[in-house]
Amino acid sequence: MSGHGRGAEALGRGLRLTCVAAVALLRELWCLVPELRSAEAAERQRYGELLRAVRQRSMPTPMPGFADEVDEAADGLQMRCLVSDGQRRVRFRVAYDGGQYSGWARVKGGSLLTVAGLLDRALSLHLRQKIFVCGASRTDAGVHAQGQAAHFDIPEKLAEERPENWKEQWERKLNQQLPGDIRVRNFHDAPRDFHSRFSAVSKTYVYRIHYGKDPSDPFERFYRFQLPLGWVRSFDIDRLHTVATCFIGSKDFAYFTQLAKLEGNRSSHRTIEDIRVVDELPGQTCRIEIDLDGALFRMVRNMVGCMVAGACGRLSAEHIDEMLEAERRYDFPCLPAHGLCLDMVHYRESF
């Protein structure tokens, strides 16, 4: 190759490198100067940064860059009952490990790390507009879910422009955006009168317990409560079966929640349809399955704590009946959140 040819090639390489450096510099400046972009673009960028930070975090370290931020959730938007004109309602299922989150619900001025908050941001990024999801159950901090249900609304025009395989596409794209401890599935258009919370006919919660003297499985330590040794010595699975039946039926659970958490004139009466004590590994592990029409704040964990106190001989069935009839209060523990899972939310039409 002649000297002229080599010089031209070197000049071309230099220009390419200069262009690459210039593009990189422009991108950096674009990120550093938010006022150069629209408010919507800046917000989408921040949503993306938050989702990436959550995906990369290690348990249980905080996320640099987001420690001082609070949620900007708009009050009431996620609780709309009726579909507005020109809107289409979409429903879906969610499974999540709640150990790293401040519960399901977004709270204005609260933590960014809520399940609904991350779903809102992932959906808003994917659909390029503000989305607020509404869930069937506002699970507490640390509580898990396998069959949580939720819905959100989108413009009719957007719904009509979706591709044929939109359900599979949305599921794939959103699960790529979300951290590994939150997964979405089963997207469907919902009837106009559907509401994930108010259309539910019942819910099933499961609490898992290790009650044996042998050490518990370390791989279950985030999902099963290990009874303290003092409780293990007196725990009796037959007594657990007996005291569990005390809760079945329509009862007043005022003693099993914090009355200050009741919204407005919301009643503390709930109906327990069935309770099943399943001895998974006799002498070692069991689970308590509870079918009910709805749960109050910490109600299920308080119920299970009361049952365990009964199984250990610290409370009798008569004591529990007295508490349910608001005649007398006895001490019992509220069991930790990590043993509880919202197993399924049931509707007349399954999805």
Q: With CA atoms as reference, report the closest residue to 181 among 143, 130, 149.
A: 143
Cα 159 to Cα 153: distance, rounded to the nearest angstrom: 10
Residue 92, beta-bridge partner list: 150
**CA quadruple 229, 234, 235, 236: dihedral, nearest 10:** 160
Determine contact, residues 246/327, Cβ cutoff 8 Å: no
Strands, E assignment, 52-143: 87-96, 134-135
Determine contact, residues 204/290, Cβ cutoff 8 Å: yes
60 preceded by cis ω (within 30°)?
Answer: yes
Cα 139 to Cα 141: distance, rounded to the nearest angstrom: 7
Cα 150 to Cα 257: distance, rounded to the nearest angstrom: 24
CA distance to 7, 10, 292, per residue, from 3 (Å) = 6, 11, 85
Residue entry with tokens 């809102």: 120
Note if 140 is an active site residue.
yes
Burial class (CB in 10 A: 0-12, 13-18, 19+), 65: exposed
Q: With CA atoms as reference, report the closest residue to 123 among 75, 78, 85.
A: 78
User: Which one is catalytic: 97, 140, 153, 181?
Assistant: 140
Determine contact, residues 167/189, Cβ cutoff 8 Å: no
Catalytic residues: 140
